């Protein structure tokens, strides 16, 4: 008979007449060895080292991290019979190959969701569930909608993309002086040329000497250039690597290759690599929770404090424009990891604010009973927020300082995608407020014949918050609360300005 616990003394019984010894404890028991715990999500070796599976994965781009092993493990572990695969159009070219791998190595039936997917807000777990899927795998975006809130099992695959990080770091060091004063004089002073023109960054001899020797000008001080690094979720790992590469100074140029340490060894900066600023930079990787550090969305970006410039790593401008709108005074630069071009980017802040201001002023004129409002709940995936809808619904008829007794309550509309032609079918409505994405109003509002407001702009219209800088709404237009003068890009931020965003005070509630 086994003892009930460690440290129990159970000597042999001499004879039937001798009573059996009872439990004898010890005041100083020997510590137990640490038990080996199996991590629930740890991928088994038979999946990681399956030669046939690895051969199938090899057909996909090696620098794209599709996490096929992880996906196969989750499907097998949970006994999933039908799985939905959702990805943006840029990744759809790999959709069939991934579906084939999933079906062959899990036996599950894959469903490719081919509707347009603009972001993680478009995750379509509702449709997947109605189609009989027990699980959805969403590719290319971060966990914007928590897995605890989705209707079926959800797996987010960020699809991190490996890029030429040394080239990125060298591109910064070749073009951006590590000295703050030199950066403002050489880079920002030279970048006032016409848009689209190549900007030669010319150095005087003293600048070139300090660049190569890693020294600073005593007259200018030793203040490093302050840079904010941001990207989409695919390149956040590259951003962190870039931060490490720029936060440390490089050895002086005269050192031999064998003496190089740290960042210089990683970047393989050789003696012949002249023209590289070797000082350290003051690097910030900002975060707007719940996003990852350095991540920006087209609707959500952090406010920057005391930055000389921001660098965006990624192709296209949609996400970059978000942080530019939120920080109109910070010079912006973009590194395209595909073309390897490093460019200065600008945005027409004055024009955007003027156009959006006109929409707000037109909407205010309709509050005297001359027209009705339509509030649109976006139904493309999870774009629409019921909490935002209720906030708008309850505030429009009653909170406006200029509303009249004849004002009618707003009409509730459900739409997956907006278009001027669709809204033209509702001529009796004078103003629309859409909850799908603020950028629909900012980027495309001018194309509609009536004001198309974002929830934030609607709140400015009815006086719940002060408008952005330069917006003149006349008497009664300063709002009931004090807001900042900038145009906020905080739609999914935990610290947004007000309840017209889906996650307002989410951090406080947690």
Write out pLDDT tens, residues 106-148. Answer: 999 999 999 999 999 999 999 999 999 999 999 999 999 999 9
At 427, the pLDDT band (50, 70, 90 cuts) reads: very high
Do 333 and 225 lie in one domain? The reply is yes
Of the candidates 445, 439, 444, the one whose C-alpha atom is nearest the C-alpha of residue 487 is: 439
- 261 lies in a domain? yes
Domain boundary among 345, 377, 398: 345
Do 155 and 137 lie in one domain? The reply is yes
pLDDT at 259: 52
Least confident of 36-45, 171-180, 413-422: 36-45
* Cα 429 to Cα 290: distance, rounded to the nearest angstrom: 36
pLDDT at 210: 54
* Cα 245 to Cα 229: distance, rounded to the nearest angstrom: 12
Do 144 and 224 lie in one domain? The reply is no
Of the candidates 140, 25, 158, the one whose C-alpha atom is nearest the C-alpha of residue 91 is: 140
The answer, yes or no, to whether residue 247 has pLDDT greater than 80, is yes
**Alpha helices of 257-306 — where are they, by DSSP H?**
263-267
* Cα 474 to Cα 361: distance, rounded to the nearest angstrom: 9
Q: How far is CA 91 from CA 252, 313, 353, 429, in A?
A: 44, 18, 34, 39
| Cis amide leading into 144 (omega within 30) | no
Do 366 and 479 lie in one domain? The reply is yes
pLDDT at 371: 75
Do 82 and 214 lie in one domain? The reply is no
pLDDT at 27: 47
Return the CATH number at 148: 3.40.50.11840
pLDDT at 466: 83
- 355 lies in a domain? yes
pLDDT at 495: 92
Enter the DSSP assignment of 177.
-
Task: Tell how far CA 374 is from the center of its chain.
Answer: 30
- 16 lies in a domain? no
If 0-12 CB within 10 Å is exposed, 13-18 middle and 19+ buried, where does residue 310 land?
A: buried
Is-contact 246 280, C-beta < 8 A?
yes
| Residue 446 three-state SS | helix
pLDDT at 366: 82
* Cα 100 to Cα 228: distance, rounded to the nearest angstrom: 41
Using alpha carbons only, how large is the chain's radius of gyration in Å? 29
Digit-coded pLDDT (tens) for 445-482: 999 999 999 999 999 998 888 888 767 776 544 443 44
Q: Which residue has the higher pLDDT, 209 or 50?
A: 50
Strands 226-231 and 411-415: unpaired
In sequence order, the 6+-apart residues with CB closer than 8 A to the CB of 155 are 70, 71, 74, 135, 136, 137, 138
* Cα 287 to Cα 86: distance, rounded to the nearest angstrom: 26
Q: Can you read off the two tokens belonging to residue 244?
A: 């490490």
**Alpha helices of 107-145 — where are they, by DSSP H?**
125-130
Do 300 and 357 lie in one domain? The reply is no
| Residue 56 three-state SS | helix
Return the CATH number at 288: 3.40.50.11850
- 19 lies in a domain? no
- 76 lies in a domain? yes
Do 340 and 376 lie in one domain? The reply is no
* Cα 260 to Cα 271: distance, rounded to the nearest angstrom: 10
User: Which helix (H) or strand (E) covers residue 110, if one does?
Assistant: strand 109-113
- 4 lies in a domain? no
* Cα 139 to Cα 122: distance, rounded to the nearest angstrom: 11
Do 179 and 286 lie in one domain? The reply is yes
Least confident of 195-204, 308-317, 402-411: 195-204
Do 314 and 434 lie in one domain? The reply is no
pLDDT at 124: 97
Q: Which residue has the higher pLDDT, 210 or 96?
A: 96
User: Which helix (H) or strand (E) covers residue 388, if one does?
Assistant: helix 386-399
- 26 lies in a domain? no
- 414 lies in a domain? yes
* Cα 419 to Cα 435: distance, rounded to the nearest angstrom: 14
pLDDT at 58: 98
Is-contact 24 53, C-beta < 8 A?
no
DSSP E strand stretches across 232-321: 282-284, 309-313
* Cα 458 to Cα 452: distance, rounded to the nearest angstrom: 9
Do 228 and 146 lie in one domain? The reply is no
pLDDT at 411: 92
Do 503 and 364 lie in one domain? The reply is yes
Enter the DSSP assignment of 188.
I
Q: Which bin fits 272, alpha (ψ -120 to 50), beta or left (φ > 0)?
A: alpha
* Cα 30 to Cα 165: distance, rounded to the nearest angstrom: 51
Residue-range definition of the domain harbouring residue 405:
349-509
Longest Cα separation, the chain: 107
At 39, the pLDDT band (50, 70, 90 cuts) reads: low
pLDDT at 482: 42
In sequence order, the 6+-apart residues with CB closer than 8 A to the CB of 352 are 325, 442, 487
pLDDT at 395: 83
* Cα 261 to Cα 251: distance, rounded to the nearest angstrom: 8
* Cα 127 to Cα 112: distance, rounded to the nearest angstrom: 11
* Cα 375 to Cα 82: distance, rounded to the nearest angstrom: 36
The answer, yes or no, to whether residue 152 has pLDDT greater than 80, is yes
pLDDT at 5: 38
The answer, yes or no, to whether residue 283 has pLDDT greater than 50, is yes
Is-contact 132 80, C-beta < 8 A?
no
* Cα 267 to Cα 503: distance, rounded to the nearest angstrom: 41
Do 465 and 381 lie in one domain? The reply is yes
Number of domains into which the chain is organized: 3
Q: Can you read off the two tokens belonging to residue 239?
A: 């951003």
Q: Can you read off the two tokens belonging to residue 286?
A: 């900002």
The answer, yes or no, to whether residue 484 has pLDDT greater than 70, is no
Q: Can you read off the two tokens belonging to residue 162?
A: 């490996």
């Amino acid at each position: 008979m086994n003892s009930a616990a460690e440290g129990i003394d159970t000597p042999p019984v001499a004879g039937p007449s001798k009573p059996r010894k009872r439990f004898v404890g010890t005041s100083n028991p020997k510590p137990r060895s640490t038990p080996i715990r199996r991590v629930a999500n740890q991928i088994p070796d038979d999946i990681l080292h399956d030669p046939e599976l690895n051969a199938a994965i090899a057909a996909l781009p090696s620098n794209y991290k599709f996490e096929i092993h992880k996906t196969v493990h989750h499907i097998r572990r949970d006994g999933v019979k039908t799985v939905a695969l959702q990805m943006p159009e840029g990744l759809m070219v790999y959709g069939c190959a991934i579906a084939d791998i999933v079906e062959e190595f899990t036996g599950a039936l894959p469903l490719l969701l081919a509707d347009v997917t603009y972001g993680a807000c478009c995750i379509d777990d509702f449709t997947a569930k109605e189609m009989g899927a027990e699980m959805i795998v969403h590719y290319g975006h971060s966990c914007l909608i928590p897995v605890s809130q989705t209707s079926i099992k959800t797996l987010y695959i960020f699809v991190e993309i490996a890029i030429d990080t040394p080239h990125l770091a060298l591109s910064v060091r070749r073009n951006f002086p590590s000295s703050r004063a030199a950066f403002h004089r050489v880079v920002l002073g030279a970048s006032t040329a016409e848009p689209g023109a190549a900007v030669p960054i010319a150095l005087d001899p003293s600048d070139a000497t300090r660049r190569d020797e890693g020294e600073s000008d005593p007259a200018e001080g030793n203040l490093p250039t302050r840079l904010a690094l941001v990207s989409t979720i695919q390149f956040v790992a590259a951003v962190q690597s870039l931060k490490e590469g720029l936060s440390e100074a490089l050895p002086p140029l005269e050192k031999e290759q064998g003496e190089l340490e740290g960042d210089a060894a990683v970047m393989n900066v050789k003696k012949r690599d002249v023209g590289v600023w070797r000082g350290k930079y003051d690097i910030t990787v900002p975060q707007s929770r719940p996003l990852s550090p350095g991540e920006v969305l087209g609707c959500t970006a952090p406010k920057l404090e005391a930055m000389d410039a921001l660098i965006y790593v990624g192709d296209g401008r949609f996400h970059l424009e978000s942080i530019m709108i939120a920080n109109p005074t910070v010079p912006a630069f973009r590194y395209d990891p595909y073309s390897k071009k490093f460019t200065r980017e600008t945005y027409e802040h004055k024009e955007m604010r003027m156009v959006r201001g006109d929409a707000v002023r037109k909407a205010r004129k309709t509050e005297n009973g001359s027209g009705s409002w339509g509030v649109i709940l976006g139904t493309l995936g999870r774009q629409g927020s019921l909490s935002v809808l209720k906030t708008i619904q309850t505030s429009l008829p009653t909170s406006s300082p200029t509303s009249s007794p004849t004002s009618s309550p707003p009409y509730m509309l459900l739409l997956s995608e907006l278009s001027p032609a669709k809204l033209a079918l509702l001529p009796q409505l004078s103003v629309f407020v859409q909850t799908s994405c603020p950028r629909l109003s900012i980027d495309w509002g001018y194309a509609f014949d009536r004001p198309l407001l974002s929830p934030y702009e609607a709140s400015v219209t009815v006086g719940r918050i002060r408008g952005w800088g330069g917006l003149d709404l006349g008497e009664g237009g300063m709002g009931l609360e004090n807001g900042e003068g900038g145009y906020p890009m905080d739609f999914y931020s935990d610290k947004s300005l007000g309840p017209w965003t889906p996650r307002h005070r989410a951090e406080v509630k947690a």
